[in-house]
Amino acid sequence: MEVKAQLNNLRRSPRKVRLVASALRGLDAKEAENQLKFLVKGSAPDFEKLLKSAVSNAENNFGFSKDNLYIKDVIVNEGTKLKRWLPRAYGRASLILKRTSNVEVVLAEKVEGKDRKKVEKAQTIKDVRPEKIKKKAEKGEEEEKEPAYARASVGEEEKREAMKEKEPARFESRSELGGEKEFSDEKRKTTGARGFFRRVFRRKSM
């Protein structure tokens, strides 16, 4: 059985990446990791990450043993090319291609089934809410949520009551006049209106 891991759009040219790929083919997983640690190539760290990912996939998803794994194949294909321009003489421009690589590592077992572990399936989490809704529907009970505007109005009433307790004289005079809004709000409105007219009819000083 084979286990694969893929790395897309690696910012290295395929020609340079294939040098590392050819050195890894046929090696054991542990031996390949040791080789990559001391290999002086630009793509060696990326290969090391990819190999670790493939080994973890094999161990966690299929229960393979790391000692029984080897690199069956390393496939390097050309990815997307980034096109850039270089200014040249007489106003010309030459094309630069910044190449990328798509790398795929294929692992397999040396001896099939050796030291293989049984993988337990992840337990699915049940959604309890639909059952509750069904039970409520059977009983004839429906959830009644208080709307946001109602909650806001309750908060405003509490604030007004607190203000009445602190300054009863102001609210008594206002109730006699028949006003319902706070004095501060009215003051703000009047000052705002005056400021608007002043801005409109303002004359520049010579």
Tens of pLDDT, residues 72-127: 999 999 999 999 999 999 999 999 999 999 999 999 988 887 777 777 665 566 66
Q: CA-to-CA distance for 106 and 88, rounded, in angstroms? A: 44
pLDDT attached to residue 206: 44
Tens of pLDDT, residues 142-163: 445 555 555 555 567 777 777 7
Q: Is 169 left (phi over 0), alpha (psi -120 to 50) or beta?
A: alpha
Read off the tokens for 134: 């069904």
Q: Bridge partners of 93? A: 87
Read off the tokens for 91: 């106003």
Residues 6+ apart with CB under 8 A from 179: 186
Tens of pLDDT, residues 56-72: 999 888 888 888 899 99
**Domains of the chain, start order:** 2-109 (3.90.470.10), 152-183 (no CATH)
Radius of gyration of the chain (CA): 37
